[in-house]
Amino acid sequence: MIHLHNTNVGIPGTVLTNIPVPASTMVVIDSVPEQFNRSIKWIVTAINLTTNDMQAFELLALNKFGLTASHTKYASIGDKINILTDVNIVLGNMELQITNNEISPLLINIVRIQSLA
């Protein structure tokens, strides 16, 4: 597992670009303090660096009082890229995790839209 620690409270509309996700690896793509965030929407673009396939989707997550996070992935368009998403609360941070199940590396770009508590 690779951690990309972006532990800033963040600004609604924060953009993170060119995040590498090696093949067969889980990466924490984004991490923000859960105490300041009740809900987060991520717009994610994934690019397969070998085939140039692209996929975009939205992910909406809800922080349930710092105990658990629930999420849904929707509005997926583009090429089929084999990735899994998860949102967890770890050590006081709400984390977006992406697992690359491809045999090629991916490049991830995200836009984070926050609902500040």
Instruction: Flag whether pLDDT at 117 surpasses 70.
Output: no
pLDDT score at 19:
94
Tell me the Cα Rg of the chain.
13
**Which domains can be identified in the chain, with CATH numbers?**
2-116 (2.60.40.1680)
Instruction: Flag whether pLDDT at 116 surpasses 80.
Output: no
Instruction: Flag whether pLDDT at 5 surpasses 50.
Output: no
Instruction: Flag whether pLDDT at 11 surpasses 60.
Output: no
Arithmetic mean of pLDDT, 66-71: 89
Q: Which two tokens stand for residue 11?
A: 């600004």
Phi, psi of 108 (to 5 degrees): -115, 135
Instruction: Flag whether pLDDT at 6 surpasses 60.
Output: no
- Alpha carbon 27 to its chain centroid, in Å, reads 9
Q: Which two tokens stand for residue 96?
A: 């977006």
